[in-house]
């Protein structure tokens, strides 16, 4: 299973990983790619990678949950990150043809960090 890492520098950060996902695909891949984030405090979504929208997404994600006051915070202080990531989801599925993602004109694969800075692992599998 192809994997790659994403390094983030901020607590909440959006990183366009479209090219890394495509690089992980076999040249002759046809089917459906599943892009999966192997962490409980990060997510992956499809959306536009326009810089102002990326800033809006980061602000929106930051506002999804209160920063503190959660029971899990007694353990490691990052319940807010788990809750945000849970709403985003840990995977997306994208059609693939001839080793290329079949995304729409403005769609990019965006990794969303909710508990950075960190180094994260993303896997890409193709079925079909």
**Using one digit for the tens of pLDDT, what is the confidence trace for 75-92?**
899 999 999 999 999 999
All domains in the chain, ordered by first residue? 3-127 (2.60.120.460)
Average pLDDT of the residues of the chain: 96
Per-residue confidence band for 26, with pLDDT thresholds at 50, 70 and 90: very high
Strands 13-16 and 108-113: antiparallel
> What is the pLDDT at residue 50?
98
The pTM assigned to this predicted structure is: 0.96
Residue 30 clears pLDDT 90, i.e. is over it: yes
Q: Is 11 helix (H, G, I), strand (E, B) or coil?
A: coil
């Amino acid at each position: 299973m192809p994997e790659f890492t994403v390094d983030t520098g901020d607590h909440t950060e959006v990183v366009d990983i479209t090219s890394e996902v495509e690089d992980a695909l076999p040249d002759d891949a046809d089917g459906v790619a599943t892009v999966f984030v192997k962490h409980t405090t990060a997510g992956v979504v499809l959306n536009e990678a326009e810089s102002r929208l990326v800033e809006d997404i980061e602000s929106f994600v930051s506002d999804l949950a209160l920063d503190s006051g959660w029971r899990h915070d007694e353990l490691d202080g990052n319940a807010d990150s788990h809750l945000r990531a849970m709403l985003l989801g840990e995977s997306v599925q994208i059609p693939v043809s001839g080793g290329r993602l079949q995304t729409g004109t403005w769609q990019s694969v965006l990794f969303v960090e909710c508990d950075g800075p960190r180094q994260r692992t993303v896997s890409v599998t193709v079925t079909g």
